[in-house]
A and B are shown apart, each in its own frame.
Chain A
């Protein structure tokens, strides 16, 4: 367990020259690939086909694409109806509106019936940037994680988003896949694993363990390098792409090994990744945990990097969180 996947990452990935792509592209490519292989794959969207990267599928498979208009509640129900006829339905929209607006439909029409529906939410978290707080969904992980039968995935870059989508397609049950609008460093490779329920350790360390998801994984890798160079602190970095089911074993391993943990997410600290880790720790192996995320507040307009800096979700905010966690060590 806890084998490091560091050697599978892009070499010199922390240099500014690392290529950037949006994780939503990975979703778009994966559904295109799935559509070619499986005639039972259907895709739905709510007037955001290009933004959610479902337009590639739509052009190729118009007979299996359903443009629902700006009507996310109906879209979730239509997806359930399609799935009930033996199909695999992917619905795709901005996270602020799906699941932001159709929670009830996802809960009853999809999850209660345990149907083969995948919910892709793009444009999640502060990374939406200038659109402001109304469009920055920061509560979706909490909502989706609470639903019985639901799997929750938060890939950390474009490659992982593609793998997450392909892995989700192998299940016949509901899956929530969270991606981002913003171009972000492509730091994983074709060799980097993606297994639902199994965290990826990208950097081993003995002083503190940083558990991150989404775009904050790369920020955590930057923070770990800075901690080592400037302060001699050895931080482990773990990509928690699978929030439900959560990798309990890896969390306990690092709680024992490091005795101090940090969680980082572009989401409220209430109910998200940090809460999920805290639940594991409290029940299995109590250890200090500093949760980094939005602290019960809304976001605001600004570009993603400015917002990450202001709200402490960038590498320097993570460094501060690590120092606090180390101070809490017994």
Chain B
């Protein structure tokens, strides 16, 4: 069981680098999927699985494990890569993403793969399921915490706000939601499609302890999750500002890479950039 007691920053950065390389390899192979959001959230996932959460890749059903629900399920390549990095299943499986007969479905399916807690796809649904898990933990005085990842475009769904109201009502201080605040959605910027600001104020007004952080800083993610423990009687909302496509220069902040996959040549270029970054990290 990972203790949830943290890792050093260098380790988390190396893990994130490895996760990013796997994301690129998976998407080159699958020829369909969502690279920008997946790359952008690699630091958050690295921090959660290698620094924050209590979980046991050898016993994925361990009753008191912390649970992670990927509400923005389309960025599942980052979750699959992270679970594999943590040892839930062999890395060879990653290359079967989205292929016929694969347990790595285009959007996660509960029961298909160890470490997956919900079936996802339609936006807005994960946060409600996370709430259900947190309510059980709280009412039965269990120790597990629940982490829900949301996209910022996903906040357009009314279901998210229904869930936020209920989490406030039940004072679910064992629930931590992390919004991937990368400002893009399919048809453009979140400001253009359906403005969200003032987002932090909105979350606070729903009764959530709300923190804004740099979501590409794994240490900041760990600190935010630690601060949640002090917010008694309140669920925690972490607004994590991330750079879509982070780590691959030609994908960073480019809307076009939301749902477009890298071809073989793009992939090689991306991997060589990531290997370069890794070399620097190892020399630190």
Enumerate chain A interface residues (CB-CB to B < 8 A). 63-64, 66, 68-69, 71, 73-85, 87, 89, 104-105, 108-109, 112-115
Contact = CB atoms under 8 A, between A and B. Distances in A.
10 A-B pairs closest in CB distance: A81-B132, A77-B128, A74-B162, A71-B162, A81-B129, A113-B110, A82-B132, A78-B132, A112-B119, A85-B136
B139 A104 contact: no
Contact of A81 (B121, B122, B133, B159): B133
B129 A78 contact: yes
B120 A105 contact: no
Given A71-B166, A108-B122, A77 B133 contact: no
24 contacts: A64-B139, A68-B162, A71-B159, A71-B162, A71-B166, A73-B158, A73-B162, A74-B163, A77-B125, A77-B163, A78-B132, A78-B135, A81-B69, A81-B136, A84-B110, A84-B118, A84-B129, A85-B136, A85-B137, A105-B159, A109-B129, A112-B110, A113-B118, A115-B110
B124 interface: yes
B212 to A, nearest CB: 25
A77 B119 contact: no
B135 A82 contact: yes
B77 to A, nearest CB: 19
Contact of A74 (B109, B110, B131, B134): B131
B118 to A, nearest CB: 7
B117 A84 contact: yes
A183 to B, nearest CB: 33
A105 B125 CA distance: 7
Interface string B260-278: 0000000000000000000
A14 to B, nearest CB: 46
Interface in B115-168: 117-122, 124-137, 139, 158-159, 162-163, 165-166
A89 B128 CA distance: 14
B159 A85 contact: no
A82 B131 CA distance: 8
Contacts of A85: 132-133, 136-137
Size range of the interface on B? 20 to 34
B111 interface: yes
Contacts of B137: 85
Contacts of B69: 81
B72 to A, nearest CB: 14
B121 A108 contact: yes
Contacts of A108: 119-122, 125
Which has the most chain B C-beta neighbours within 10 Å: A71, A82, A105, A109? A109
Contact of A68 (B120, B126, B133, B166): B166
A81 B131 contact: yes
A73 B159 contact: yes
Given A73-B159, A74-B159, A84-B133, A105 B165 contact: no
Contacts of A71: 159, 162, 165-166
A73 B130 contact: no
A295 B13 CA distance: 63
Contacts of A115: 110
B166 A78 contact: yes
Given A71-B166, A109-B119, A82 B136 contact: yes
A63 B159 contact: no
Which has the most chain A C-beta neighbours within 10 Å: B132, B133, B137? B132
A109 B166 contact: no
A101 to B, nearest CB: 10
